[in-house]
Amino acid sequence: KKSEVATVCYVDICKAATFVSNSEKGNSARIIVASVEKELKEILFNFNKPFKNEEGNIDETLMVDCLVSLFMLNPDKVANSLFNDFVESNNAVFKRVLVKTLLRIAHEGTNLPWNPTISDIYVSHAGNLRKLFQEFKG
């Protein structure tokens, strides 16, 4: 239970870190994110054991919050690793999380000048997204 609470808190720190520019030195939130990013990914994005909340339900909302935040913090890294992993996954939950993440990025746009936009994904993932939607349709 404590690890679930810690996971939620670290995702909140990830979200907070997106509000501070990359160029700002000594951004403690970004430093914390860098130190826990690997563990967060292992806990939240385990294709064999998706993260569940205390009620025992898969916590897609928390997964989307984390994925959006990680994308905002490092768009190239996330687009070239996690997004690809989600598209290739056989687990429909992760495909749904990816679609919800992209929808949130598109709807929210860029609130801050240093945050990436949905257009940053077009070139690298148009084919993957087409494949994903054909899979859902099919």
Residue 114's CB is within 10 A of a number of other CB atoms, namely 13
pLDDT of 15 > 90? The answer is yes
**pLDDT value at residue 119:** 86
Query: pLDDT band at 17, cuts 50/70/90?
Result: very high
- Mutual angle of helices 60-73 and 92-108, in 10-degree steps: 50
Q: Using CA atoms, how far apart are residues 74 and 40, in angstroms rounded to an integer?
A: 15
Three-class DSSP category at 43: helix
**pLDDT value at residue 138:** 62
pLDDT in tens, 64-106: 999 999 999 999 899 889 988 998 898 999 999 999 999 999 8
- Give exposure, 85-101, as e/b (b: 16+ Cβ within 10 Å): ebbeeeeeebbbbbbbb
Residue 125: give the domain boundaries: 2-137
Which residues, listed in sequence order, are joined to residue 52 by a DSSP beta bridge? Answer: 58
* Number of domains into which the chain is organized: 1
The closest alpha carbon to 125, from 64, 80, 75, 72, belongs to 80
Query: pLDDT band at 29, cuts 50/70/90?
Result: confident
**pLDDT value at residue 70:** 96
Whole-number mean pLDDT of the chain? 89
Share of the chain above pLDDT 90, in %: 51
Length of the chain measured in residues: 138
